[in-house]
Amino acid sequence: MSIPEVSSRNRLLQFLKRYFSPVSFSATMTSNQTISHDTYTTMACDTETITGIGYDTSTYTFTAPYSGIYYFYASALWLNMADTNDSVIIGLLKNSGLSSEQQYLMAAWSEVPETNADYTTQGSLMLTLDANDTVEAQVRYYNSAVATEQIFGNSDTQYQYTRFCGYKI
């Protein structure tokens, strides 16, 4: 087999992988997660409800298999928020570590109007990624006298409101 033949076959294999291996996922949380005050925390979405390639349920991280534009959506259901002027953010962290880039999706509210109420934060964003770039969905709450709050997770698929999902466009 000549080198040009190998090159053509490799290009064909790469083409087939891109179009027949879905680069998509939808992951949900199966149990509640405690979030510490004034700290960005990766959402522990540990179960894939739509399985493609790229998402790791043990690290809660998506790794782009190919360069391109990707769409992401994240939502978090906050449980029994205290009436202490809490503010929350849900965001995406691209390439965690020294070269990380925080992409904010949405700041949900600045003052909790009702004690012990549940609130949902959600948003979507498109990112340009290189192959092997990583993305994590993160939450943060601050301006509070309360040391921790919780986001909701449930093993019952009817009640899985906290999720992180995405796909390559």
Q: How far apart are the C-alpha atoms of 119 and 2, rounded to whole Å?
A: 62
The tokens for 31 are 């149990």
Higher pLDDT, 89 or 109: 89
User: Do residues 54 and 23 lie in contact, with contact meaning Cβ atoms separated by under 8 Å?
Assistant: yes
Does pTM top 0.85 for this prediction?
no
pLDDT of residue 104: 56
pLDDT digits (tens, 9 = 90+) for 30-66: 999 999 888 889 999 999 887 788 999 999 999 999 8
List, in order of start, the domains of the chain with CATH numbers: 22-168 (2.60.120.40)
Q: Which helix (H) or strand (E) holds 16?
A: helix 3-20
pLDDT digits (tens, 9 = 90+) for 70-84: 999 999 998 877 766
The pLDDT confidence band at residue 19, using thresholds 50, 70 and 90, is low
pLDDT of residue 107: 45
Average pLDDT value for residue range 147-167 = 89
User: Do residues 110 and 66 lie in contact, with contact meaning Cβ atoms separated by under 8 Å?
Assistant: no
pLDDT of residue 110: 47
Q: Is 126 helix (H, G, I), strand (E, B) or coil?
A: strand
pLDDT of residue 3: 56
Average pLDDT value for residue range 5-22 = 71
pLDDT digits (tens, 9 = 90+) for 102-124: 655 554 454 555 667 788 888 88
Q: How far apart are the C-alpha atoms of 51 and 47, rounded to whole Å?
A: 9
Q: How far apart are the C-alpha atoms of 169 and 167, rounded to whole Å?
A: 6
The tokens for 30 are 């199966």
Minimal CA–CA distance to 49: which of 23, 28, 30, 76?
Answer: 28
Q: How far apart are the C-alpha atoms of 80 and 36, rounded to whole Å?
A: 15
